[in-house]
Structure 1
Amino acid sequence: MGKIEWAMWANEQALAAGLILLTGGIVGTAGQFRDWQFAAYGIAAGVFVCLLEYPRGKRNKGTSVERTGQHCFTICVKSFGPLTRNYYVRAFLHAAICVPGGFMLATVLGCVCLGIASLIYLGAAIRGEQWEPIMPREPSKKPVGESIKQPPKNPPPRPPQDMRRKRAEDLEGAAYANPITVTE
């Protein structure tokens, strides 16, 4: 079996946790719950976590698929260098972010999910994983094959090459003249 890439799991978990934390913060702030300031913190923390976690990292296999619109977020996250590339930093950052949201019921679920993502990131860091950005590839210029330069003339199904009828243009200089195409 292949090696599990824990960072991919942690990324999905943290992004979901950020969205849950944001939603709980909106509910707590809009409802003016007691200690609603923790809910306002939950909104800010949820937005920060979502912005940090939206760009996916490159997989070791190289089969990564980037999220829609991820490129501009990737550039921002990449600009912070080792602070965002290192999973130890992300693990401790998420652990610190999730603590204040635990004091309010509306944001507790987001904080628990973020704490789990922090543990998964810690496991990924222990295994030596780190975040690498998915950058767009330059399209490779492959030479066009001869069969593509001349598209087929007749619709499918086509008979094999040796069974096809020859065109008059292809037979110029042939040993015989076709009586149907020769006009005198």
Structure 2
Amino acid sequence: MGKIEWAMWANEQALASGLILLTGGIVAVAGQFRGWQFAAYAIAAGAFVCLLEYPRSKRAKGTSVERTGQYCFTVCVKSFGPLTRNYYVRAFLHAALCVPGGFVLATVLGCVCLGIASLIYLAAAIRGEHWEPILPRKKEIRQPGGSVANPPQNPPPRPPPEMRRKRVDDVEGAAYDNPIPVSD
């Protein structure tokens, strides 16, 4: 069995919780709920979490698939260095961000989800994982026809190699022997 990469799960959980926190904050501010100031904070916290968590990390196996339009967010997150690369920092940051949103009913679900993401990031940090950016690789330009040494001579369907007739050019020094004598 393979090793579980906890950071991948934490990233998805944190991104979803940021969206839930943002949505709950918008609902609470628009509805003028009691304590709507906490909901306004939840909008800012949810937007920050979404921006921080949108770029995926490179997986240890190397089978990472980046999100659409992730490159510009990756450059921003990468520029903060160890503050965003270290999962201990992310775990404690998410834990601190989720507390004020718990005072308004519309943002409680987002806060609980962000707290769970914080715990998953803590598990990832304990296991020694860290954030690595997915940067675009240079594409190799392949020359057309470079992989085929001799193109096929016969049109398809082609018989297997052992069933093909030998061409006279391919046989060295052999001449065709007619088994039937020619009469004059």
Whether 1:131 aligns to 2:131 is yes
| CA–CA distance in structure 2, aligned partners of residues 139 and 105 of structure 1 | 50
C-alpha displacement of 1:34: 1.0
- Please name the residue that 2:81 is paired with: 81
* Aligned residue type for 1:85: R
Pairing of 1:95-134 with structure 2 (within 5 A): 95-134=95-134
| CA–CA distance in structure 2, aligned partners of residues 38 and 152 of structure 1 | 76
Of structures 1 and 2, the larger Rg is shown by 2
- Please name the residue that 2:19 is paired with: 19
CA-to-aligned-CA distance 1:151-182 (integer Å, 9 cap, x gap): 88846x4444676799xxxxxxxx99xxxxxx
| CA–CA distance in structure 1, aligned partners of residues 137 and 164 of structure 2 | 42
- Please name the residue that 2:171 is paired with: none
- Please name the residue that 1:71 is paired with: 71
CA-to-aligned-CA distance 1:42-75 (integer Å, 9 cap, x gap): 1111110000000000111111111111111000
C-alpha displacement of 1:139: 1.3
| CA–CA distance in structure 1, aligned partners of residues 46 and 160 of structure 2 | 62
> Would the alpha carbon gap of residues 54 and 127 (structure 1) be closer, same or farther in structure 2, given more than 3 Å must change?
same
- Please name the residue that 1:39 is paired with: 39
Normalised to the residue count of structure 2, the TM-score between the two structures is 0.82
Unmatched 5+ stretches in structure 1: 167-174, 177-184
| CA–CA distance in structure 2, aligned partners of residues 79 and 151 of structure 1 | 53
Root-mean-square deviation over aligned CA pairs: 2.6
- Please name the residue that 2:55 is paired with: 55
| CA–CA distance in structure 2, aligned partners of residues 67 and 151 of structure 1 | 42
| CA–CA distance in structure 1, aligned partners of residues 160 and 78 of structure 2 | 54
C-alpha displacement of 1:125: 0.5
Equivalent in 144, 147, 151 of residue 145 of structure 1? 147
- Please name the residue that 1:8 is paired with: 8
- Percent identity reads 81
CA-to-aligned-CA distance 1:80-123 (integer Å, 9 cap, x gap): 00000000000000000000000000000000000000000011
Unmatched 5+ stretches in structure 2: 167-174, 177-184
How many residue pairs were aligned?
Answer: 172
- Please name the residue that 1:94 is paired with: 94
